[in-house]
Amino acid sequence: MFNISPLQFYTVLGLLLFSFLSTPAYANGGVQTTLETDEAPGSLGDIPESDFFEFQDEPLEGPLTLPDWFKLSFLELSNDIIDLKENNKNGLIVYFGQKHCAYCKAHLEHNWQAPFIVAYTRKHFDVIAIDVRGQRPVADINGKIYRTEKEFSVANKTNFTPTLVFYDPDGNETLRLSGYHPPYQFVAALEYVADQHYKNESLKNYLARAASFSEYGNETLNSNDIFSSPPYGLDRSMFASQIPLVVFFEKPRCHACDILHTGPLSNNTILHTMTQLETVQLDMMSSTPVITPAGQKITTQRWAENLNLYYTPTIIFFNENGKEIIRIDSVVGFYRLNNVLHYVLSKGYLEEPNFQVWRQRHKR
């Protein structure tokens, strides 16, 4: 009747199960499931979805422990590609993380501790960990040698951790996820690569086909006094602006957008800092006209497509001349957003184009 995969079915089952267990009749003392058994494929439903977004994002006091099922690798990625072919895997995931990263912790706890996500990952992929501050040498897919993991991470433009880079059995990059994504999106990303949907459609379109299962939230965009009013003439191609530009690409019925507005965008420190930028909010699904920083007259929907956006909210920063500085297309909390604002406003990107290296250098 409905053409959905088993993995999508289990994700939907989990969401429905949570809704059922949250009713008054079952809220206290009702039936419970657990994440501690492989026999509970829908058990994500026991966790309120807001918990996937709401966590303290300051650096952790103690180091993280990686899953013991990660592949032990000599970090010669071409050999790892050979291994996955011999084991009939669908791809390789290179996980860029760091020991005290709160977003890495959220990813590991919510995604790679959920039994059915672990089982699906292990069935279809080998996973190799790279420490973005690490000192081990790395040979990439093509055999190019980097002296350290840190150097390899910079070459891969890992501004945020975790970053996951997916490769197919031929060593071609098929997908890149920058930052932490909640389970329902991470599961879809795994399936997108494992089933080779990337050959036929973008991740944005693939996610949109499943959106009706998980979309909920405010029926309109969240309002905030920091946002400029239309018309949106953002052209900086002929004449430079005096201040940087930040564009929030959002949409209605976006729970992650609601969390952003009730979290970081309700913080007075963030709001005060953002007065130093031109700040615009756009509905990435709408036909609202906009003149882009490059001077192109276009709709917001088409602009979002040209920018290859798939996640809402996506936050993109542009310099005074309209060149993109950095984007955040994953879950973001106060600490990370505040650091990115300082990176942009201090012009740290001129000193160091890699955000992680800039953070290390300035001990932020």
**8 Å CB contact between 340 and 328:** yes
Torsion of CA 74, 77, 78, 80, to 10 degrees: 70
**8 Å CB contact between 351 and 364:** no
Note the pLDDT of residue 320.
98
Helix, strand, coil distribution of the chain in percent, nearest 5: 40, 15, 45
Instruction: Give the pairing of strands 297-299 and 289-291.
Output: antiparallel
- The distance in angstroms from the start CA to the end CA of the chain is 52
Q: Where are the domains of the chain?
A: 6-214, 232-362
Q: How far apart are CA 137 and CA 131, in angstroms?
A: 11
Which residues have a Cβ under 8 Å from the Cβ of 356 and sit 6 or more positions away? Answer: 132, 153, 154, 158, 159, 160, 161
- Matching fold, domains 6-214 and 232-362: yes
Note the pLDDT of residue 219.
81
Note the pLDDT of residue 275.
97
Written as one string, the DSSP assignment of 323-361 is -EEEEE-S---HHHHHHHHHHHHTTHHHH-S-HHHHHHH
Which two three-digit tokens encode residue 56? 């303290």
Written as one string, the DSSP assignment of 59-107 is PPSS-----TTSPP--SBHHHHHHHHHHTT-SEEEEEEE-TT-HHHHHH
In this prediction, the residues of the chain whose per-residue pLDDT falls under 50 are: 1-4, 6-48, 213
Note the pLDDT of residue 21.
29
Note the pLDDT of residue 214.
53
Cα-based distances in Å from 294 to 14, 229, 297, 306, 324: 44, 20, 9, 12, 10
Note the pLDDT of residue 296.
98
Q: How far apart are CA 250 and CA 285, in angstroms?
A: 8
Name the CATH architecture for the domain at 232-362: 3-Layer(aba) Sandwich (3.40)
Which CATH class for the 6-214 domain?
alpha beta
Angle between helices 115-124 and 183-194 (to 10 degrees): 20
Write down how long the chain is: 364
Note the pLDDT of residue 24.
33
**8 Å CB contact between 197 and 191:** yes
Q: How far apart are CA 272 and CA 270, in angstroms?
A: 6
Note the pLDDT of residue 145.
98
Handedness of CA 219, 220, 224, 226 (dihedral sign): positive
